[in-house]
Structure 1
Amino acid sequence: MDAVNERIEVTSDRDVVRVRQLVRTLAVAVKLSLVDQTKLVTAASELARNTLVYGGGGSVEVSPAENGRRKGIRIVFADNGPGIADLDLAFTDGYTTGGGLGLGLSGARRLVDEFDIVTAVGEGTTITVTKWCR
């Protein structure tokens, strides 16, 4: 598979749907199992929605990944929003600053193989996730 990076600007709910569709398409292309496709699409949907709702919009970049042994998908969610003041609190199941279930960050982290977050108050948040083929 060619290493093609696709980038979607997330400014509306329609863009969150586009992110989900793109992730599903690439997950099928790299031959993730159906269960892993579902996990990755769920995590991507949640993180794209967070980019929109809490980050005020941003971008999502989806690309194939390879580590020499296996293939996967890497997704980078970036916003220039307010950042996350207390990461430990943000990762606590049930904690929400919105009206949701409070499973966004912690739930997404459990659904992927690699999860990295860089955030600074007043500067925004960048989350990189990777899901590998089994």
Structure 2
Amino acid sequence: MIDRYAAAVFAAPDRLFQVMRTSRTRTQLWLQSDASPSSGIPLRIEVHFDSVQYVCLPFVIRGLTLRAATAAEQERLGAAHGLELADDAGVYLLSEQHDWFVVSGVPQWAEARLAYNDGPVFWDYAGDEDVVASIGTLQ
């Protein structure tokens, strides 16, 4: 059975994430942190953003803390990047130490028994209980 849940914050502070895929239209973005069984990390973590409008992040992130931006953070980031963000814009921060963020629909993440080159969870394996351990989204 796949554990499905919602949380205010998703944190993976000891993991290395990389931008792994974007859709051809660049409206979808996937971040991936690979499993490393020899290091005690048995599952790959994948974070998926849909309806992407703006991205401000490096290609590699050490440690991820995913949460919705507060109204003050959203206003500050919008001004700093020349963005006119609606009050209901989905602005999601990726780090506690940096101003890395994505403007998109509500992100999802999954923990799965997948190798580096396997396809994305949300396209290829979303309902496969033998592969996917959990799927979460922000509240």
Query: What TM-score results when the alignment is normalised by the length of structure 2?
Result: 0.29
> Which one has a bigger Cα radius of gyration?
2
Using CA pairs under 8 Å that are at least 6 residues apart, name the structure with larger relative contact order, 1 or 2: 2
More helix by share: 1
TM-score by length of 1: 0.29
Q: Which has the higher strand share?
A: 2
